[in-house]
């Protein structure tokens, strides 16, 4: 039987930052088909810092403890600093992990990194305000108008992610945020 440190047992018994962030800026999910562990990390970014980090983990006690520790280590860090969190850093912060459970610390860091990469991809895909495309017909417009010049659809900008969306949609097709505040 694996012997766990008090810190591992504490993070397993009292995990921090469990759950999902509503309208996250980035999401990363990784898994290990051999052991069955699955970790999803959700991040909220303000400036260039991870303002909030939450996770959902399906796995053993070590996987839950690792996820909890990674979330604590990442909150408040710049994205570049959070990308430097390694499996060794996580294991060291937890006071060590048995060798057969070290893969869990890899998954935690990888899921966080995947969420940051997802955030960065979303940022690079945001439409420039000079040229936007209608989400319904892909007609390129020189500026965002109240309606598409191609298909006539009424348009709005998602207040969460800045994507151009159909005005009367209930939620953003990109980040799933409620569009009640975008309706005018």
Q: Known catalytic residues?
A: 35, 104
- Dihedral pair phi/psi, residue 171, rounded to 5°: -140, 155
For the chain, strand residue ranges (E) read 26-31, 38-46, 49-58, 132-133, 140-141, 155-157, 164-166
Taking CB atoms within 8 Å and a gap of at least 24, the contacts of 80-86 are 80/48, 82/50, 82/112, 82/113, 82/116, 83/113, 83/116, 85/109, 85/112, 85/113
């Amino acid at each position: 039987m694996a012997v766990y440190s008090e810190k591992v047992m504490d993070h397993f018994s009292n995990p921090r930052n469990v759950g999902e962030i509503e309208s996250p800026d980035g999401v990363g999910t990784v898994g290990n088909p051999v052991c069955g562990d699955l970790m999803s990390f959700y991040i909220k970014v303000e400036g260039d810092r991870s303002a909030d980090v939450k996770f959902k983990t399906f796995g053993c006690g070590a996987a839950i403890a690792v996820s909890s520790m990674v979330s604590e280590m990442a909150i408040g860090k710049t994205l570049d600093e959070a990308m430097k969190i390694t499996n060794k850093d996580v294991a060291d912060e937890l006071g060590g992990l048995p060798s057969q459970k070290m893969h869990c610390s890899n998954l935690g860091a990888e899921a966080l990194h995947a969420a940051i990469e997802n955030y960065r991809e979303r940022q690079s895909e945001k439409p420039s305000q000079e040229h936007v495309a209608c989400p319904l017909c892909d007609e390129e417009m020189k500026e965002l108008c109240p309606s598409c010049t191609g298909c006539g659809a009424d348009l709005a900008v998602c207040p969460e992610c800045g994507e151009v969306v159909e005005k009367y949609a209930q939620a953003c097709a990109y980040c799933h945020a409620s569009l009640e505040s975008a309706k005018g």
